[in-house]
A and B are shown apart, each in its own frame.
Chain A
Amino acid sequence: MKGKVFKFGNDIDTDIILPGRYLIYTDEEELSKHCMEGLVSDFKSQANDGDFIVGGTNFGCGSSREHAPIAIKGCGISAVIAESFARIFYRNATNVGVPLLEAPGISEIIEDGEEIEVDMEKGIILSESGKEIEFKKLPPFMLEILESGGLISYLRKQNE
């Protein structure tokens, strides 16, 4: 996977990712229009398919709203890479098919706007300047869930 980085700080909460007033919607397209609205206006138009979000510690803290990872998915983000993630967000993102990669040290090495390459199999992120950062590789079943586009599609495939 290759793409541009949108870099954010520590404790990026779900109200920043998707403010409460948009929880009345369930549609991915509608939700994605308001992604990261707390910090960036019109994030969606700036992000291209395959781009990455890089965060600091405790990314996704706050509410259990699955609308947040759905909004990120709708922007075409291929993975969120952070120092650490909040618990409910971690499960929700995996369940909707957004890979979360835990890469301690990432926020000191990667800059906003940088082009990076992520090797899911090797568990390595390659920076524009050629630096390598390791992330905790995901187990095979989680990769299958993500490749299916989320838990429900995965379960449906299993049942076929």
Chain B
Amino acid sequence: MKLDVRTYILLTLLSATWATMNSNIYVELLIMAGLTVLQVFSKKGSFMPGILLTYALFCGVQFVLFPVMPETVEMILSMFVVNIRSFFPVVMCIVLLYKNTRVSEMTASFTRMGVSRKVTVPVAVAIRYIPTLKEEWLHIRDAMRMRSVTRGIKNPFLRLVKKLECYLVPLFVSSLHSADELSTAAVTRGIENPCKPTCRNYKPMGVKDYIVIVMAVMITVYCFIMHM
């Protein structure tokens, strides 16, 4: 069950309001259950059990460990645990959006909605660039493992700074190159053409999209009312 890219974007935006306004754990569990169902029935790879497990761990800490902990420790930890826990729905939505969005579909939907190319192109490039960034990071990590760049530096802080610098220098250089080559390739393929582009991958929203949107809006309204 794949939803329209606009539905995923809306879900992600609304999930931010749930995270900040909702304080009812049962509503949050309901949201998480709903998003898990969406993930399970979406494209392969959308469902990440690791995220759910981490969420369960946070819930466990808050509801099982906190009551038996000394009050001061609980006070110190609860801010951290509760805040992170409430942002899990946002993470779930971002995973849904990222795993189910093809750049061409997103550009098609945005173009049909009349969004300017000045917005669509950078967003499309950003999404397309994420896997490349990961690949480049892994290459650099390998290179670093073969070479102890921090040998001879005793101060642990300076070691960290050096390591970070060694990761970032090649990453920036290759990002600049890639951005340059990518935009050159796009320009030679007519991206600047002022005519209305064809949206081959455009599909109108279906019933399932509307059902999900209505549910998401209902939850948002509930959170808003409770917050007031």
Q: Do the two chains bind?
A: no
